[in-house]
Amino acid sequence: MTTLTKPQIKQLRGLAHKISPLLLISKNNITETVISQTDQLLNDHELIKGQLQEGALLSTKEAAAELAEETGAAVVQTIGHRFVLFRPTRRKDLKNPIRLVRE
Exposed, middle or buried, 39 (CB in 10 Å: 0-12/13-18/19+)? middle
Please give the model's pTM, rounded to 2 decimal places.
Answer: 0.91
What range does the domain containing 78 cover? Answer: 6-86
Confidence at residue 76, expressed as pLDDT on a 0 to 100 scale: 96
Give the other-Cβ count within 10 Å of 7's Cβ. 12
Residue at 96 is within a domain: no
Res 27: pLDDT: 85
Q: What's the pLDDT band for 103 if we cut at 50, 70, 90? A: low
CATH of the domain at 65: 3.30.110.60
Task: Work out how many domains the chain is built from and give that number.
Answer: 1
- Residue 91 within a domain: no
Tell me the pLDDT tens digit for each residue of 46-97.
999 999 998 888 899 999 999 999 999 999 999 999 999 999 877 777 777 7
| pLDDT at site 1 | 55
Instruction: Determine the distance from the C-alpha atom of residue 43 to the mean position of all C-alpha atoms in its chain, rounded to a whole number.
Output: 11
- Does position 33 have pLDDT exceeding 70, yes or no? yes
In a domain, 66, yes or no: yes
- Cβ distance 46 to 89 under 8 Å? yes
User: Do the domain assignments include residue 31?
Assistant: yes
**SS3 at position 23:** strand
Query: What pLDDT was estimated at residue 12?
Result: 94
